C-alpha cells in the first residue's frame, strides 16, 4: 500500500471512528489537535521529551508527537477526552496534583495506564513510568500521592 501527499485514514478515537485526510508525515498529535479538534493532548516539545502529548494506543501510553497518525490505523486510540470519571482524574483533583494543568492530560493518561496495568505497582515501577512526563509546577509529590491513592483504593476493592 502506498500513499501520496494527503491521504484518508480511518482512526478509532475514544470509541468513535473518524475518517481523516492528512499527510502520512503528520504526527498523531497534529491530527488529533488540528483535524479532530481534540486539544486535550498538549504539544510541549514535539520531540518526545516532555510527555504532555501522551495518549493511549491499545491501552498503552505513547507520545503522540513521536508517532505518525497513519501508524495508528486499526488501533484503538484513547485521549484525555475519552477518559470519563476515572479514579485517577478524581485523585488528581483531590490531591492538588496540578497547577497550570498543561502537563496534566499527559500525566493522567500515563498514570491511568499504569494503575490499570499494575494495580500492585511498586515505587520503582511508579517512578519508571512517571519519569516519562515533566511537570514544572508541582513538586511531583502531589502526583505521587494521587497515583498511590488510586492504587490503594484498587487494593481495598479487591
Partner 1 sequence: MVPFDFTYHQPSSIHEAIQLFQTLQQQGKKPMYYAGGTEIITLSRLHLVFTDAVIDIKQIPECQVLDIQQQQLVLGAGVSLTTIEEANPFPLLTKTASEVADRTARNQITLGGNICGQIFYREAVLPLLLADSEVVIAGKDGVQQRSIHQVFQQHMQLQPGEFLIQVKTEQTYLSLPYAHIKRRKQGEVGYPLVTVAALKKDGQLRVAFSGVCPFPFRSQAVEERLNQQLPVNTRIDEALQHLPRPILDDIEGSAQYRLFVLKHTLFDIITELEGE
Partner 2 sequence: MIGKSVIRKEAWDKVTGAAKYTNDYVTPGTLHARLVTSPYAHANIQAIDIEKALSVPGVRAIVTGEGLPLTGEDLLDRPPIAFEKVRYHGEVVAVVVADTLVQAEKAANLVRITYEPLPVVGSPREALKEGAPLIHEQLGSYQKGRGIYPEPNTNIAHRTKIRKGNMEKGWAESDVVVEASFSFSPSDHAAMETRCATAEILPDGYIIIYASSQSPFMIKKLISSYFGEDVGKVIVHTPLVGGAYGGKTPVQLELLAYLASKAVGGRKVSVWNTREDDIITSPVHIGLEATVKLGCTNDGYLKAAEILYLFDGGAYSDKAIDVSRAGAVDCTGPYHIENVWCDSLCVYTNHPYACPFRGFGHGELSFAIERTMDLLAEKLQMDRLELRMKNAICPGHTTPTQVLLNNSNVGNLPKCIERLRELIHWDDWQRIEIDARTVRAKGVSCIWKTSTVDTDASSGAILTFNPNGSINLISGVVEIGTGTKTILAQILAEKMKMDIKDIHVKMEVDTQTTPEHWKTVASRGTFMAGRAVLKAADDAIRQLKEIASIVLRASVEDLEVGYGKVFLRDDPAIYVNIKDIAYGYKYPNGNAIGGQIIGRGNYILRHLTYLDKETGAGKPGPEWTVGAQAVEIEFDKRDYTYKIIRAVSVIDIGKVLNEKAAIGQVMGAMSMGLSWASRETFLFDRYERVLNPQLRTYRLLRFGEHPEYIVEFVETPQIDAPYGARGAGEHGLIGMPSALANALSVAAEVPLNELPLVPELIWRKKKGEHHGSI
The partner in contact with residue 28, picked from partner 2, partner 1, none with C-beta cut-offs of 5 to 8 angstroms by kind, is none
Given a contact cutoff of 8 angstroms between Cβ atoms, the answer to whether 51 and 4 are in contact is no
Which stretch in 56-64, 66-74, 125-133, 150-158 sits in contact with partner 2 by CB under 8 A? 125-133
| Contact between 49 and partner 2 per CB under 8 A | yes
Which stretch in 12-20, 44-52, 89-97, 148-156 sits in contact with partner 1 by CB under 8 A? 44-52
CA dihedral defined by 94, 50, 120, 83, rounded to 10 degrees? 60
Which of 29, 36, 135, 151 touches partner 2 by CB under 8 A?
135
Which of 11, 14, 20, 26 touches partner 1 by CB under 8 A?
26
Q: Which residues are CB-contacts of 23 (< 8 A; sequence separation ≥ 6)?
A: 5, 6, 7
Rg over alpha carbons for the chain, rounded to the nearest Å, is 16
**Can you tell me the distance from the alpha carbon of 24 to that of 133, in angstroms, rounded to the nearest whole number?**
27
Residues that bind partner 1 (CB under 8 A): 1-5, 7, 23-27, 30, 46-48, 51, 54, 60-63, 65-68, 70-71, 110, 127-129, 131-133
Amino acid at each position: 500500500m502506498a500513499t501520496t501527499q494527503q491521504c484518508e485514514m480511518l482512526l478509532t478515537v475514544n470509541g468513535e471512528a473518524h475518517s481523516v485526510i492528512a499527510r502520512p508525515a503528520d504526527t498523531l498529535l497534529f491530527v488529533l489537535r488540528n483535524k479532530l479538534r481534540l486539544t486535550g493532548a498538549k504539544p510541549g516539545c514535539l520531540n518526545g521529551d516532555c510527555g504532555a502529548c501522551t495518549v493511549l494506543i491499545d491501552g498503552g501510553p505513547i507520545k503522540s508527537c513521536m508517532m505518525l497518525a497513519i501508524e495508528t490505523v486499526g488501533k484503538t486510540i484513547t485521549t484525555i477526552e475519552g477518559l470519563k470519571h476515572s479514579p485517577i482524574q478524581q485523585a488528581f483533583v483531590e490531591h492538588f496534583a496540578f497547577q497550570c494543568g498543561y502537563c496534566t492530560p499527559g500525566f493522567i493518561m500515563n498514570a491511568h495506564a499504569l494503575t490499570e496495568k499494575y494495580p500492585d505497582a511498586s515505587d520503582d515501577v511508579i517512578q519508571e513510568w512517571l519519569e516519562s512526563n515533566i511537570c514544572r509546577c508541582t513538586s511531583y509529590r502531589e502526583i505521587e500521592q494521587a497515583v498511590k491513592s488510586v492504587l490503594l483504593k484498587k487494593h481495598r476493592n479487591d
